[in-house]
Structure 1
């Protein structure tokens, strides 16, 4: 996979100044029911524009040891310690946007690593007993099958939102031969998901036999029972892939594949207006499966090349006659080639209306999306 830009290089690329909180900064202190701010020289911040910037950072009130960059163009705008004394960062929006866009450059590399990851996950899920690797593999398996977020302990503690690593026993029930997941996810989205899978069912049943409320736990060699965290899952992914893979990469890849297939299901648009309408419908469909807003889905979970090519009239996927990349599905190979293929030269103001869908393509795309819908259902969104 391509390695991301260093923070220094990314700051320069974004037109920002690279900073650290080791330098003198603005300090926040309690003042009545709110906060006041002091400059590095100790004087009180009174300038209205500066105060507006500081307040717009929306630094959580619970943070302590808050440091704020005196410069508007610092790539880090603020740091602090959360309720669990972990250091947190607030980055400049331009820096965040650049780093966010950089992840798409690495997405083809992630797709090529998927076969090896999937093979190792299958091997680890077949381990005897309930070792750490088996539980982590089951989480990765669920991550890909269900698209549930990985979870964050802070979100679970502060607002009750859950992800895979923060689910408790009460969030999962065994109903016949199926697993039923019911919980509130990020941004208050209610998830109601049913999964039929014997392998992961066995792992979860074994986890539920262990003491404790956390769903995913494992037993160490000396008999201790421990819960897993999102950091454990990301460490496992780095180990099995030999690269900087994270849990979020799975959702980004899935969002990209589903968006390309959803667009594939439409007939060739006759105008830019129709293309935009189709694009909105496709992104809305994908956002429902990921449990995101349409805006976040488009910005963070769909490779921009998929959108750009559709609007340029290059939206037809070239389905392979055989799966020539072992471990990837044919539609995944088609999407991988789609985002890696060099664009056609010259601008195109209108989508091509002359390209008709080949028989079966619409059926294939709809079948894949339907299968995903039958697995994942987020209430309040399109199932």
Structure 2
């Protein structure tokens, strides 16, 4: 079941239990949940918990009473990752959120009811469409702001966004840097080597995985050479004080130049989806096994660019409509046809056409 157009206006607002939802929007979601036979729930009200037991876990009510066999079977079927802590589960099989917990990095994670994934996929579609429409404006403004030396905030942010756009760097939030994982904003001069017109980055990224990235863009390399004199690459002087270019500042800059509520992470999702589409479009896979092999190869291809595992790439960075359309034989090479949209590549244009309903 696809989400109908009347939900598109709600795409920017999601209900994850611990986020504020405007009353009118929440009422709309409640109506849609009712159509699906579900109900909106707040994880703060969950009364089923997971506790260590022998070599595994067991589930019980917060008052210590055991679960019914039916509830226990339902929760076990969710396959909640064993590494999650502070796991709580919904007491109802009809809750739009079925379980919450914290991953190894302390981030709140959710397992949704399968029917609710339709709503979330609609949100992904609208977010990518908004980003794709804003991307030409972003690129044009980045080129303009990069004309100045990266000694102040905006030219420095422009350089960072250009590198994110080209090579899918993560933004580099400080909380991950403290755990040894860096992104563009938290890179150090020791992470960068420059040889002629080539800049090479080697650093520990998310989950401390080694990232090796090569930059050959002359304008970017020229500016990176200036930054290498500093201990931390992306910092600038303001009123005689050195200030770090935090990931939050990058996102503020993006929102300012795009006029949209976009973030640095949207680049990774947009590029991951566009690359997957370009890989799969036009492939004629007649059997189910051939389609599975093609999708697996596409995820490996995209994961190399994003520096993720294929599983994470598929679940977080490739829009499900791409794989769905491919498996249905609807991902034709015509999506990549010329002319391409101004400011977008062929694969990016194809992605926009697909998300807008073209085949």
Shorter-chain TM-score: what band?
Answer: 0.7 to 0.9
| Structural mapping, 1:109-258, within 5 Å | 109-128=130-149, 130-158=151-179, 160-210=180-230, 213-220=231-238, 222-258=239-275
The alpha carbon displacement at 1:148 in A equals: 1.9
Q: Note if contact 1:172-1:182 (Cα within 8 Å) is conserved in structure 2.
A: yes
The change in CA–CA distance for 1:71 and 1:269 in structure 2 (over 3 A counts) is closer
- Aligned-partner SS, 1:278: helix
Aligned-residue CA RMSD (Å): 3.9
Q: d(CA) in 2 for partners of 1:269 and 1:68?
A: 42
- Structure 2 unaligned runs (5+)? 1-7, 16-25, 50-60
Q: Note if contact 1:162-1:186 (Cα within 8 Å) is conserved in structure 2.
A: yes
Q: d(CA) in 2 for partners of 1:327 and 1:176?
A: 29
Q: d(CA) in 2 for partners of 1:274 and 1:69?
A: 38
Aligned to 1:262: 279
The change in CA–CA distance for 1:69 and 1:262 in structure 2 (over 3 A counts) is closer
Q: d(CA) in 2 for partners of 1:275 and 1:269?
A: 5
Q: d(CA) in 2 for partners of 1:153 and 1:310?
A: 38
Q: Note if contact 2:125-2:355 (Cα within 8 Å) is conserved in structure 1.
A: no
The alpha carbon displacement at 1:260 in A equals: 1.2
Q: Note if contact 1:255-1:286 (Cα within 8 Å) is conserved in structure 2.
A: yes
The alpha carbon displacement at 1:145 in A equals: 0.6
- Structure 1 unaligned runs (5+)? 28-38, 344-383
Q: Note if contact 1:208-1:215 (Cα within 8 Å) is conserved in structure 2.
A: yes
Q: d(CA) in 1 for partners of 2:171 and 2:218?
A: 21
Larger RCO, structure (CA 8 Å, separation 6 or more)? 1
State the 4+ residue runs in structure 1 displaced beyond 6 angstroms.
Answer: 23-27, 48-51, 56-61, 66-70, 76-80
Q: Which moved more, 1:179-188 or 1:131-140?
A: 179-188
| Structural mapping, 1:272-291, within 5 Å | 272-291=288-307
Answer yes or no: is 1:5 the counterpart of 2:25: no
Answer yes or no: is 1:305 the counterpart of 2:289: no
Q: Note if contact 1:19-1:74 (Cα within 8 Å) is conserved in structure 2.
A: no
Deviations 1:98-156 (A, max 9, x none): 77532223212211211101001111111245111111111111001111222222222
Q: Note if contact 1:130-1:203 (Cα within 8 Å) is conserved in structure 2.
A: no
Q: d(CA) in 2 for partners of 1:275 and 1:76?
A: 31
Q: d(CA) in 2 for partners of 1:223 and 1:306?
A: 50
- Aligned-partner SS, 1:161: coil
TM-score, with structure 1 as normaliser: 0.69
Q: d(CA) in 2 for partners of 1:17 and 1:260?
A: 34
The alpha carbon displacement at 1:48 in A equals: 7.6
The change in CA–CA distance for 1:59 and 1:279 in structure 2 (over 3 A counts) is closer
Q: d(CA) in 1 for partners of 2:87 and 2:356?
A: 42
The change in CA–CA distance for 1:25 and 1:124 in structure 2 (over 3 A counts) is farther
The change in CA–CA distance for 1:223 and 1:208 in structure 2 (over 3 A counts) is farther
Q: Note if contact 1:121-1:140 (Cα within 8 Å) is conserved in structure 2.
A: yes
Q: Note if contact 1:168-1:214 (Cα within 8 Å) is conserved in structure 2.
A: yes
Q: d(CA) in 1 for partners of 2:101 and 2:305?
A: 33
Work out the number of aligned pairs and report it.
318
- Aligned-partner SS, 1:317: helix
